[in-house]
Amino acid sequence: MSRKASSGPPPTPPAREPEQRRGGGLIGLLLVAAVVVTVVLIGGPALWTSPAPELTYTELLSKVDTNQVAAVTIGSDGAVTGTYRNGSAFASQLPTALGDPQLTTKLREKNVAVTGAKSSGGSSVLTTLLGYLPFLLILGLLWWAGRRAQRTLAGGAGGLGGIGGFGRSKAKIIEAQRPTTRFSDVAGYEGVKQEIAEVVDFLRDPSRYAAVGAKGPRGVLMVGPPGTGKTLLARAVAGEASVPFLSITGSAFVEMFVGVGASRVRDLFSEARDRAPSIIFIDEIDAVGSRRGLGGTGGHEEREQTLNQLLAEMDGFDQSTGTVVLAATNRPETLDPALLRPGRFDRQVTVPLPNQAERAAILAVHINGKRLDPDVDLTVVARGTPGFSGADLANLVNEAAINTVRGNRTVLTAADLAAARDRVLLGRRDASNALLPEERRSVAVHEAGHALVAALCEHADPVEKVTILPAGMALGATEQLPEVERRLYPESYLSDLLAVRLGGRAAELVVLGEASTGAADDLAGATAVATKMVTEFGLSPALGPIGYSRGGAPTVADDRGELYGRPYSEQTQRVVDQEIARLVREAEVRAVALLEQHRSALDRLAARLKDEETLDGAAVRAVLDAAPAAAEIAAGTRDAAAR
């Protein structure tokens, strides 16, 4: 899903009340005062007092002998401070351990004034209090801020909203005239837009619903994989309804301070009521709305308090105000059941991955504004991107544009889009990742096996491209494009899928006589498909029509918070393992038989891949069609030689 790029003036932040400004200013003033007092008491004396020059005891005796000293003050610890006859000061230290009487005699002879001083160890009470004053100021500030936060949390969204304003919501508020996104900017998803249009109708004219006693939806939960455009749909609803749009993420509610999340919920809904009719959009609501009682510390845990406040606010809605809550998540199974009950989130809107027609429309939106080669068919590009979300398609077009710039061109071609698709699916192609000659032949045989089995299986998707150029972690790739958008997969399709997955390993066994580590990813994928066939789809004769959708999964929690593990016994697990191994083994035997039957085509295709490195689906079919004729010519040559 995507839209055309649009921009508007930045949202205007909500005005703060005078009390909030005064409270915030008082906190700042107290903090500045505490810092200033601390600096003055600790570093003040050093700032305005220059230290006197320090003399050794020998230098002190010399100064006294030359009659330069006017007065000295001697402390009980031997510290000496004094002044010269020119008025300058000095300091020294007596070697009290020596007990030298020379200084006393010299001071008397030179008429130096001598004064005694007490030790500084017995400081006054005032000095002690001044030393602790900065810490007392900080403790007092913290106590005042804590009391202020308690009054704020008890009184709702008013006041300061917690320490430093933490209790205020962090919602981005877009006023009624600001949203420019409309449903026309959202490509595809006509069914989803039709379902969510009722919210728009209710916000535009709630009196229509009140006239017949109907109530509009209180909450709409949009569920879908990442990148499908849930946030874009919410903005389109706000744009169509022309109402204020308050957007916030679920993680923005939770802070390290207990009670702050609940305060932010109250503040958010208070803002919405003041601007009613309005829309509250909570993105990734599973961050705050997951089930209670799992992995927490009880009812006093911050996330649970925030969720409880959210439930209470949604219960307290006045339907006449026209406030609707939209939420988005890609993990609906983790949400608390109390959040999903009617009266809170009345309906769920599923936003699935786009189908082929919708992908073509999304590509057209992203291509808009770029120069596109006339030969590019967006329908073909859409057919080659099954499972892509709107965000994936936007990335695909951007990668194609980057590839165009890299080639010093300004027009996007089909080759650019194909290279971008390979870049997204396989990773960056590294030209320096050269293969050894024997590895190159092994990869060519492996990929030829995949392509040939796919061409020979009736229900397999047709081959689009085969390459042995390394990209990302893959040494080669065989790309298949589905002819139609499938919703159901018959057993015949899954059996052919297993055979194609094991075609590379089978080709190595047929041509090289041994398997290699190159089939590791194929084996993992085939095992995953076989596991679903046995445990979920009921396609195993040994187990019958029984589905174990959670079989083999790690221990998880059910709706009541209780833990459970594998839903079947060890004996059943043994049967499951045997059936998975049987399906994979049968697929390998089938692939080997097909390749042995068409050995000449396999050799010709592997040789062409080794020489040309990349082949399209038409080349694979041409090799397969030419193989019987080549076999007949070879047989005729052998018969002629025998005669």
Q: Transcribe 261-322 into DSSP letters.
A: HHHHHHHHHHHHHHT-SEEEEEESTHHHHBPTTSSS-STTSHHHHHHHHHHHHHHT--GGG-
Residues 364 and 346 in one domain: no
Cα–Cα distance measured from residue 457 to residue 469, given in angstroms and rounded to the nearest whole number: 25
What values do phi and psi take at 158, rounded to 5? -75, 180
pLDDT tens-place string over residues 46-56: 555 566 788 88
Query: Does 527 fall in a domain?
Result: yes
Residues 241 and 319 in one domain: yes
Q: Which residue has the higher pLDDT, 502 or 119?
A: 502
pTM score: 0.61
Cα–Cα distance measured from residue 407 to residue 412, given in angstroms and rounded to the nearest whole number: 10
Q: Identify the H or E element spanning 127.
A: helix 125-155
- Two structure tokens written together for 224: 């879908």
Of 140, 118, 34, 23, the residue nearest 73 (C-alpha): 118
Instruction: Find the mean pLDDT for residues 269-294.
Output: 79
Query: Does 157 fall in a domain?
Result: no
Mind telling me the catalytic residues?
Answer: 447
Q: What is the CATH number of the domain that holds 217?
A: 3.40.50.300
Domain that holds residue 410: 356-426
Q: What is the CATH number of the domain that holds 107?
A: 3.30.720.210
pLDDT recorded at residue 61: 81
Query: Does 12 fall in a domain?
Result: no
189: left (phi over 0), alpha (psi -120 to 50) or beta: left
Per-residue pLDDT band at 6 (split at 50, 70, 90) = very low
Residues 136 and 249 in one domain: no
Cα–Cα distance measured from residue 54 to residue 62, given in angstroms and rounded to the nearest whole number: 14
Query: Does 442 fall in a domain?
Result: yes
pLDDT tens-place string over residues 113-156: 888 776 554 445 556 666 666 677 777 777 766 666 555 444 44
Residues 316 and 383 in one domain: no
Q: Which of 54-58, 520-524, 608-612 has the lowest mean pLDDT?
A: 54-58
- Two structure tokens written together for 388: 């892509």
Query: Does 156 fall in a domain?
Result: no
pLDDT tens-place string over residues 433-489: 567 788 888 999 999 999 999 999 999 988 888 888 877 677 888 888 887 777 788
Query: Does 237 fall in a domain?
Result: yes
Residues 528 and 600 in one domain: yes
Residues 180 and 309 in one domain: yes
DSSP state of 474: B
Residues 466 and 562 in one domain: yes
Query: Does 185 fall in a domain?
Result: yes
Per-residue pLDDT band at 630 (split at 50, 70, 90) = very low
Residues 292 and 201 in one domain: yes
Rounded to 5 degrees, what angle do the CA atoms 636, 639, 643 make?
140
pLDDT recorded at residue 433: 58
If one counts the domains in the chain, the total is 5
Rounded to 5 degrees, what angle do the CA atoms 430, 433, 436 make?
150
Amino acid, single-letter form, for residue 362: I
pLDDT recorded at residue 29: 66
- For 119, counting Cβ atoms within 10 Å of its Cβ (0-12 exposed, 13-18 middle, 19+ buried), the class is exposed
Q: Which of 86-90, 120-124, 250-254, 284-288 has the lowest mean pLDDT?
A: 120-124
Residues 339 and 388 in one domain: no
Whether residue 298 has pLDDT greater than 60: no
How many residues does this entry show for the chain? 643
Residues 106 and 133 in one domain: no
Q: Would you call the peptide bond into 628 cis, given omega within 30 degrees of 0 as the criterion?
A: no
Q: Which residue has the higher pLDDT, 210 or 547?
A: 547
- Final residue belonging to a domain, choices 390, 406, 426: 426
3-state secondary structure of 42: helix
Q: What is the CATH number of the domain that holds 421?
A: 1.10.8.60
Instruction: Find the mean pLDDT for residues 178-197.
Output: 78
Query: Does 5 fall in a domain?
Result: no
Cα–Cα distance measured from residue 373 to residue 358, given in angstroms and rounded to the nearest whole number: 21
Q: Which of 104-108, 109-113, 454-458, 635-639 has the lowest mean pLDDT?
A: 635-639
Cα–Cα distance measured from residue 122 to residue 397, given in angstroms and rounded to the nearest whole number: 80
Most confident range, picked from 30-34, 238-242, 370-374: 370-374
Please enumerate in sequence order all residues whose Cβ is within 8 A of that of 631, keeping only pairs 6 or more positions apart, or say none: 600
Residues 305 and 389 in one domain: no
Question: What percent of the chain is predicted at pLDDT more than 90?
Answer: 14
- How many CA atoms does the CB half-sphere of 523 hold within 13 Å? 10
Q: What is the CATH number of the domain that holds 591?
A: 1.20.58.760
Residues 483 and 377 in one domain: no
